[in-house]
Chains A and B, each alone.
Chain A
Amino acid sequence: MSYIERSNELFESVKTPYIGAALLALVAVFPLVANAIGGLPFLTSIAIEMMIFAVFAMSFNLLVGYTGYVSFGHTVFLGSGAYMTAVLMKKFSVPFIAAAPAAVIGTGLFALVVGAIAFRRSGVYFAMITLGVAQVFYTLFQSWNYVGGDTGIIIDPPVVFGYEFNPFEPMGYYYLALATVVVTYLFTRYLVRSPFGHVLQAIRENEERARAVGYSVRTFKLAAFSVSGGLAAVSGVLYAAYFTQVAPGSTLYWTTTGDGLFMILIGGMGTLVGPIIGSVFVIGTQYALSTYLVDFIPEGAPALVARLPERWPLLLGLLFMLTVLRFRSGIAGGLGFSRVRSIDDVLTRVSGSAETEEPTVKSDGGDER
């Protein structure tokens, strides 16, 4: 029995909807616990950041993990959502509750235009066009005074139906972000298990064949790109609302796209829960290394040891490389969630072992049957 099959079996044995519900309940009471142990604002703010980027990573994964197209400019849609929200609120005094959906829909349309250009090419060329588009907006927004240049736009925390969100008492943000993560998860699960999602995966596995079968591949890719962009805008809206400052360096620069790729890959590309796990892991590790590692460095340690915590991206980067080299199915893969018919599965099937045992190949678009 292969490692994957064993872990699948293990997962199968504990897999019930109750686990999901229990986890959700745990997350829901987290701020109360954090409050009790006196770490409320700090721990809760980390959790909110994790959830904002979980939404971003889920949106990105819809494209990368399910259509197989790697964009290097996905952050432009996070930035678009954030900037549209900020501009509507600041310059046009539109209330948050109206600015948010407008930003998401606007970005979905924007993504449609970008996709129409980028999908004229594939592979490396597709990656470069998307990177180019994102960099064009990054460099433009950096020098455009209307949107505040390098500093960006600073907005007031949103007020929704009389409730004032407050970054220093982040309970409201926490539950807003949590609800968004749950809805985004359910939405992407619905999508990838729908006939639409199955066509996307067909494109990922063999685009020519999907076209030969008769699907209008281009339409499906464009739709996926637009939805993926719109979902990224959802994370952008949350970003603007929570951080109350939208600047090009943090929302439009290509390293944010890179962070998203880190999260997807470490979490588990092409699985539904992978991006969430990845976001929690990457941001969690980042804070653990940058905040808590300091406590373990003895006084008067040599300079090279003392400055290790500052260089947490070094450790994260090494981990990322290790993931690419050795654990391509990511943490979710280790837990038994598998990308549908990954290369490994196909290889198992064509090699001799498939004759004696039916390989565990998940047959739908998601992590679970």
Chain B
Amino acid sequence: MTPLSVGLGDLATTFVNGVSYGMILVLVALGLSLVFGLMGVLNFAHGALFMLGGYIGLAVMKLTGGGMTGFALALVVAPLAVAAIGAGLERTVYKPLYETEPIYQLLLTFGLAVVIEEAVKYIWGAAPPGVPPRPAVFDGAVVFMGISLPYYRVFTILLGVAVVAGTALFLSRTRFGLIVRAGVYNTDRTATLGLNVERAFTAVFGLGAFIAALGGVVYIYRAIEPSVGASIILPAFIVVIVGGLGSFWGSVIAGLLIGVIWQFAAVYAPVPAGTVIFLVMIAVLLLRPQGLLGEAEVEV
């Protein structure tokens, strides 16, 4: 395909698809980045929490008979449930490892990812689950300047914007957010000031799980299956690294960027999109290891 044959409409469609996929990556990467910033743990199991959110949401939808009510309920119940599970895991499984070498944390989260995926397969089966038809509200598209924007993609993008804005306000405007930001800046010093950093750890973990599960529920209408956790975590890692480990806005920008690069690569690149985004990550690690918005002082 020569670039000349590509119409403006095609480019715009690819761009919107990229932003929509990027929003889902942002939802996974936010928690990943917050947890890394605060606790220094790169959480392999975070993708599994995303996937778990999708499955719990699906269960809620089936219990309530699908439709718009079911979907709306799923958007509330699944994130809360996964947040509780995430916070519980932080208390019981992650906490004992904060003082050990980072390699053990990485290995533990890796094992946990396997356990969550297998537990989901055990409960709901290994095959992709049957998904109730999407509420009719989401069918159709809004046409804007000759570009067709499917409602569901618009919904995904708007939800992502709302979550990012909400999290940003929470972090910047609440006392708790202040503690979290102080903890990201310097955990030990924050604790020395008498602030309860441990509680912040648990809460941030729960918050990250909540946001990821929200993404998982949105993902139900894409292609939810047990292996989704393992396949979404790799692009999410890329997002967090490209954005700068621990940087909130870095993750947001990089998430959208990687989503768009992914879509364009999928449509136009001669090599698979997965190859392209990993090459981007390697290039960033070598040329600008602190990422787009990360602090310059990184262990290199």
Q: Which of A104-154 contact B (CB under 8 A)?
A: 117, 120-125, 127-129, 131-133, 135-136, 138-140, 142-143
Which among A120, A143, A262, A343 is the interface contact of B286 at CB below 8 angstroms? Answer: A120
Which among A129, A142, A308, A324 is the interface contact of B97 at CB below 8 angstroms? Answer: A324
Bound complex: CA of A128 vs CA of B123, how far in Å? 32
Against B, the Cβ 8 Å flags (1 = close, 0 = not) of A248-276 are: 00000011001001100100000000000
Q: Are B121 and A255 in contact (CB under 8 A)?
A: no
Query: Considering residues B123, B278, B298, which has the most beta carbons from chain A within 10 angstroms of its beta carbon?
Result: B278
List chain B residues, Cβ under 8 A from A70. Answer: 103, 106
Q: Are A321 and B111 in contact (CB under 8 A)?
A: yes
**Number of contact residues on B: which range applies?**
35 or more
Interface-forming stretch among B13-21, B77-85, B112-120? B112-120
B234 interface contact, C-beta 8 A: yes
Which among B111, B234, B271, B286 is the interface contact of A317 at CB below 8 angstroms? Answer: B111
Which among B42, B112, B274, B286 is the interface contact of A321 at CB below 8 angstroms? Answer: B112
Q: Summarize B's interface: helix, strand, loop or mixed.
A: helix
Q: Are A140 and B271 in contact (CB under 8 A)?
A: yes
Q: Which residue of B lies closest to A124 (CB)?
A: B42
List chain A residues, Cβ under 8 A from B101. Answer: 343
List chain A residues, Cβ under 8 A from B106. Answer: 70, 124, 127
Bound complex: CA of A120 vs CA of B285, how far in Å? 9
List chain B residues, Cβ under 8 A from A265. Answer: 107
Against A, the Cβ 8 Å flags (1 = close, 0 = not) of B279-300 are: 1011001100100000000111
A29 interface contact, C-beta 8 A: no
10 A-B contacts, Cβ less than 8 Å apart? A121-B286, A122-B299, A125-B285, A125-B289, A133-B278, A139-B271, A254-B234, A310-B126, A325-B108, A328-B100
Since A133-B278, A265-B107 are in contact, a sample of 15 more A-B pairs with Cβ atoms closer than 8 Å, ordered by chain A residue number, is A120-B286, A120-B300, A128-B241, A129-B282, A132-B285, A136-B278, A143-B272, A258-B110, A262-B111, A310-B126, A314-B118, A317-B115, A318-B115, A325-B93, A343-B100
Q: Which residues of A contact B (CB under 8 A)?
A: 64, 68, 70, 117, 120-125, 127-129, 131-133, 135-136, 138-140, 142-143, 254-255, 258, 261-262, 265, 304, 307-308, 310-311, 313-314, 316-318, 320-321, 324-325, 328, 343
